[in-house]
């Protein structure tokens, strides 16, 4: 007989990153070595892995140490990343997913309920201003403002300046350049001004900013992709006042699961400094 699902709560140690996904091309390794000054291949690998792990550990630290931490997963689909963060210790009742109406299917898939996973969900199109409007980044004067009741949310707009950590993976590349910038500005407006607050994720990147053609299982798609340099410049200087955030962006081509071609991915994080 199948067991009833138990309430999700943090009880595991953070799993290490999968080193098998680390696979730099010679030209990418040369690029990183030039910018970091790290010539040894093993030391460079460790440095890159450490930076990626540091971003996620920062999310979990915010969950432990902030007075009212909030974790938002934009484009959450079934809520996989929310469940992972909860298992690693982020308070479930302080997590929010936003997507089209897929959340209940996540409960069916993972055999969870609102009682066993007391996370929150805002359903709708994130480009609808009633769901998420563009707002300027919060100032330090907004630190410590009261947070809304998450149980009653029907929009992300009441969260302006209140969100400790925002996750956005496999999301931005779904949209054209102008919509990517609009979403970046909207998410920046949600982020808390508390130093250490973070936005992080991964998406289809490029060595050179522009429209690229990607093929997957015989389907070709033209999409706008940022390079590490253009992604950093957009967040630090165009969206946030220059010097108020630290942006880490690493472009890598990884082996595509079940395929014979490598896939270009930009791993990134944006951390508030002041």
- The number of beta carbons lying within 10 Å of the beta carbon of residue 272 is 23
The pLDDT-based confidence of 37 (bands split at 50, 70, 90) is confident
Could you tell me where the beta strands, DSSP code E, fall in the chain?
71-74, 95-99, 120-123, 165-167, 198-204, 210-216, 219-225, 245-255, 262-272
pLDDT attached to residue 266: 92
The total number of residues written for the chain in this structure: 274
**What's the rounded Cα separation, in Å, for the pair 271 and 274?**
9
**Residue 213 banded pLDDT, cuts 50, 70, 90:** confident
By C-alpha distance, which of 70, 33, 40 is closest to 190? 70
**241 Rama sector, left if φ>0, alpha if ψ -120 to 50, beta otherwise:** beta
CA torsion 242-246-252-255 (nearest 10°) is -130
What band does 263 get if pLDDT is binned at 50, 70 and 90? confident
Q: What DSSP designation does 160 have?
A: T
9 DSSP 8-state letter: -
Q: Is the pTM of this model over 0.85?
A: no
Confidence of residue 179 (pLDDT cuts 50, 70, 90): very high
For residue 21, pLDDT over 60 is answered with: no
Distance in Å from the first CA to the final CA of the chain: 54
Pairwise CA distance, residues 71 & 200, whole Å: 11
Mean pLDDT of 264-269: 92
pLDDT at residue 257 greater than cutoff 70: no
Please state, for a pLDDT cut of 90, what percent of the chain lies above it: 60
Beta bridge partners of 123: 99
What integer is the mean pLDDT of 107-113? 93
**β-pairing verdict for 219-225 and 245-255:** unpaired
From residue 36, give the alpha-carbon distance in Å to each of 19, 29, 120, 237, 272. 20, 10, 40, 22, 22
Which residue is listed with tokens 């967040």? 235
């Amino acid at each position: 007989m199948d067991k009833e699902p138990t309430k999700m709560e943090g009880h595991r140690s953070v799993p290490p990153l999968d080193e098998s996904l680390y696979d730099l091309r010679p030209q990418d390794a040369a690029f990183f070595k030039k910018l970091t000054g790290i010539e040894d291949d093993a030391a460079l690998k460790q440095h890159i892995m450490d930076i990626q792990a540091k971003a996620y550990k920062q999310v979990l630290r915010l969950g432990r140490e902030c007075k009212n931490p909030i974790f938002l997963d934009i484009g959450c689909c079934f809520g996989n990343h929310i469940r992972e963060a909860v298992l690693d210790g982020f308070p479930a009742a302080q997590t929010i997913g936003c997507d089209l109406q897929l959340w209940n299917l996540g409960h069916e898939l993972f055999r969870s309920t609102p009682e066993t996973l007391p996370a929150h969900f805002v359903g709708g199109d994130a480009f609808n201003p009633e769901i998420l409007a563009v707002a300027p980044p919060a100032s330090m004067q907004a630190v410590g403002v009261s947070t809304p009741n998450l149980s009653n949310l029907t929009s992300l707009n009441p969260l302006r300046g209140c969100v400790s950590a925002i996750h956005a993976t496999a999301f931005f590349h779904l949209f054209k350049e102008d919509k990517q910038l609009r979403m970046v500005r909207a998410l920046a407006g949600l982020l808390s001004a508390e130093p250490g607050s973070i936005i992080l994720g991964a998406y289809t990147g490029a060595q050179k900013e522009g429209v690229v053609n990607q093929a997957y299982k015989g389907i070709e798609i033209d999409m706008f992709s940022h390079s590490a340099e253009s992604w950093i410049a957009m967040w630090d200087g165009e969206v946030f006042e220059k010097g108020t955030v630290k942006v880490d962006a690493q472009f890598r081509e990884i082996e595509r699961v079940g395929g014979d071609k490598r896939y270009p991915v930009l791993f990134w994080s944006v951390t508030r400094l002041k």
